Amino acid sequence: MKNILNIIRHDLKKISGSVVAIVTIMGLCLVPCSYAWFNILSNWAPYESEATGRISVAVANMDEGASAAGLKINVGEKIVEGLAANDDIGWVFLDSDKEAINGVYAGDYYAALVVPEDFTTHVLSFMSGDLTNPKLHYYENEKKNAIAPKITGKAKTAVQEQVNATFVETLAGYVSDAASIAEANGLDPQQMLDDLSERIEDLSGDLDDCIALTNSASGLTDAAGNLMEVSGGFMDSTHDVFASNDKLLQNLETELSKIKKTDTSKLEAAVEQAKTDVSSLRTVSTEVTELLSASDIAFDLFIDTQRDKRVAAVNRMKSSAEEQEKVMRSEGFTAVADKFAELAETLGSISAGYGKLEKGMSYEERKAILEQIEADSKKASDLSNEIPKMIRTDIDSGLAEALENSKSAMSRFRKAMSSADKDLTKLGNNMSSYNSALSGLKSSIDTTTANLRSVQGGADALADLMKDTSGNVLLQELSDLLANDETAVAEYLANPIKMDTEVMWPIENYGSAMAPFYTVLAQWVGALLTAVLIKVKIRKRDDLTHLKLHEWYFGRYGLYLAVGLAQALVVALGDLLYVHIQCGHPLLFVLEACVNGMVFMMINYALVFALDNIGLGAGVIVLVLQVAGSGGTYPVEVLPKIFQVLFPAMPFRYAMDAMRECIGGMYDGTYWKCIGILMLFMAGAILFGMAFYAPAKKLNEMIAASKAKSEIML
């Protein structure tokens, strides 16, 4: 032990007496550390809008537009408008597609998006029945940079989302326009039902007369010989009745067709429209989840750019819910009205919550508000899902079927009356042959009577249905729902499913996530440079008598250890105080850096101590293998098989895992397990250095002599 301490004191004395030595030691402590800091800072937020917004992507809109329903539509212009509001990429808008493409070839732009001339025509092809998939042309320069194409891939995603939203927004606009036209023409579904109910009741009364007449006609056939004169008058009367009722049935069929084509489809559309608020509420929930884990910069950016928009959107939903409540309550649907009132109150709470969010709030303040908004949005979403179900209970599911059956029955009745009318006409024209035609006429009259009774039963049932349906506010609300906010409809149709993501061990930025890798790498490089610049051998001195191998080994390692600990303290404190990485356990982070310094120095010291020049080369090889295969940048699972096999034996792995625990959060003693494994590496290095020194001594001397002969190598 005495010789070990003498070696350490002598080394420190020699260093303090040499300016060159002091500068060299300072360089060993500072240069590797600066490598870590600059790499962490350069990777701080490469995928955020602040960085990706500087990557230029050209956009050329050549779309000529198209006309639909008297409207001039240009989807390409809407795409450009949407992209102009998107700051994730540095969009450069050009007038020529050739200019954009040539710019990609020349490297002026990383990518280019070209909207072709017939894009809108193909988007609207569904209206003509000749479906053609619209295509955008995307050009990408993969030669300019390896990572840039991955970032510009966000551009393709942004464009696809914009096109989808524009497409469904167009559809929503058509629906809204249709609702406005219907309202302008005075179409009132509720009034149409009331009028139709009255007409059906009148028809039922007329059918009673028809049945009585056909029954009379059937009885008259038994005494036809004595009632020829009366039969003539009866035929004239019956003909008039048939003609009158035929006209009535024609009008009724027309009204039934209108109900079938308008009201039934509108009722179904009304139920679907009532669900659209769910999408916006899901967006609120997802947005709140993201804000809970957002950085202060991202939160303040949300306040500046999105808060007022969100408040306005929620207030529109609240106003719609309040209007629905008034209408429902006026029509007597108290239960549904109460749900709308509760929904409006909850939306008001969400709007008030957004209004409370301010820039510069502490995390705890905004967390309390955001959690309340999240709870309210879930409650509002549940109410929006429940309301359509309650509304559907007010609609007789058999309305459409009853309308169709009645229409079919009336059609059969008209045919029957037409047949009977022809028979009566023939009877009047051929009175002389009445006896022979009398039996056929009686059969037709009996069939007609049966059909009349069937139609009368259907008419009575339909009239009851109309009375039950009368007062249902859904018919009145149909036009209001169709004229609702088409933006909300477009958002739901474009993105009906949202992903609810919960981040485990969140890390604020990419630089903090990469800090363990670059810190560990810098420490290994520092240890390797130390092994190159500081000699392992000790000159014989009078004060070092009978020096043993372990005394030499640990005596010179004392200097290595001092440099390693200095490097660890500088790089760790620089990460925390200069770079300002995220770190929940700063003291443990510094401790882990010191452990790394001891272990890495020992490994490189042992290699050089035992193998000399070969040890220096081995240290470089171990460094290269760990940089490529320790999982610092890419998951080890995606690396070649050889790295997956070597992964458990790499010190980098355990050093980075321990630092990640300090940065992201502790779990199940992983930190201390990693430190324990690193200490095992250190023990193994000690055994290796001392065990292989003697066997490799002659080989090392041969290599040193060969280097000296070359006269060009140190």
Closest CA to 280 of 311, 301, 303: 311
CATH classification of 54-184, choosing from 3.30.43.10, 2.40.40.20, 3.40.1710.10, 2.60.40.420? Answer: 3.40.1710.10
Distance CA 249, CA 241 (A): 12
Give the pLDDT confidence score for residue 311 in this predicted structure: 86
Q: Of how many residues is the chain composed?
A: 714
Q: How far is CA 323 from CA 172, 328, 477, 513, in A?
A: 21, 9, 10, 50
Helix boundaries (H) for 221-295: 228-258, 264-273, 277-292
Residue 259 has pLDDT above 90, yes or no: no
**pLDDT band of 573, cuts 50, 70, 90:** very high
Q: Which helix (H) or strand (E) holds 115?
A: strand 111-115
Give the pLDDT confidence score for residue 597 in this predicted structure: 94
- Residue of higher predicted confidence among 217 and 83: 83
- Residue of higher predicted confidence among 713 and 107: 107
Instruction: Write the single-letter amino acid at 483.
Output: A
Q: Which residues pair with 68 in a beta bridge?
A: 71
Distance CA 139, CA 97 (A): 11
Work out whether the CA dihedral 234, 236, 240, 246 comes out positive or negative: positive
Average pLDDT (371-389) is: 82
Give the pLDDT confidence score for residue 598 in this predicted structure: 96
> DSSP 3-state assignment of 59?
strand
Give the pLDDT confidence score for residue 414 in this predicted structure: 60
Helix boundaries (H) for 430-472: 434-469
Give the pLDDT confidence score for residue 666 in this predicted structure: 94
Q: Residue ranges of the domains in the chain?
A: 2-44+509-710, 54-184, 187-506
Looking at mean pLDDT, say which of 174-188, 292-306, 377-391, 523-537 comes out highest: 523-537
Give the pLDDT confidence score for residue 274 in this predicted structure: 57
Residue 401 has pLDDT above 60, yes or no: no
Looking at mean pLDDT, say which of 48-57, 85-94, 506-515 comes out highest: 506-515
Percent above pLDDT 70 for the chain: 64
How many CA atoms, within 13 angstroms, populate the side-chain half-sphere of residue 501?
11
Instruction: Write the single-letter amino acid at 544.
Output: L
For 558-616, the DSSP string reads: HHHHHHHHHHHHHHHHIIIIII----S-HHHHHHHHHHHHHHHHHHHHHHHHHHTHHHH
Whole-model pTM: value is 0.54
Q: How do residues 183-240 score in pLDDT, each as one tens digit?
A: 555 555 555 556 656 666 676 676 677 677 667 666 666 655 555 555 556 556 555 6
Looking at mean pLDDT, say which of 496-505, 550-559, 643-652 comes out highest: 643-652
For 164-188, the DSSP string reads: HHHHHHHHHHHHHHHHHHHHHTT--
Give the pLDDT confidence score for residue 269 in this predicted structure: 40
- Specify the DSSP class assigned to residue 259: I
Q: How far is CA 612 from CA 5, 412, 577, 608, 713, in A?
A: 24, 108, 38, 4, 14
Q: How do residues 426-438 score in pLDDT, each as one tens digit?
A: 656 655 565 555 5
Q: How do residues 131-141 score in pLDDT, each as one tens digit?
A: 777 888 889 88
Residue 263 has pLDDT above 80, yes or no: no
Residue 674 has pLDDT above 60, yes or no: yes
- Residue of higher predicted confidence among 347 and 597: 597
Torsion angle of alpha carbons 136, 142, 146, 150, nearest 10°? 10
Q: Which helix (H) or strand (E) holds 139?
A: strand 137-140
**pLDDT band of 319, cuts 50, 70, 90:** confident
Q: Of the ranges 109-118, 283-292, 636-645, which one carries the lowest mean pLDDT score?
A: 283-292
Give the pLDDT confidence score for residue 396 in this predicted structure: 45
Q: How do residues 451-461 score in pLDDT, each as one tens digit?
A: 667 766 766 76
Q: Of the ranges 361-370, 438-447, 509-518, which one carries the lowest mean pLDDT score?
A: 438-447
Closest CA to 479 of 242, 211, 182: 182
The chain-wide mean pLDDT, for the chain, equals 76
Residue 580 has pLDDT above 90, yes or no: yes
Residue 262 has pLDDT above 50, yes or no: no
Distance CA 240, CA 610 (A): 124
Give the pLDDT confidence score for residue 18 in this predicted structure: 73
Distance CA 639, CA 658 (A): 22
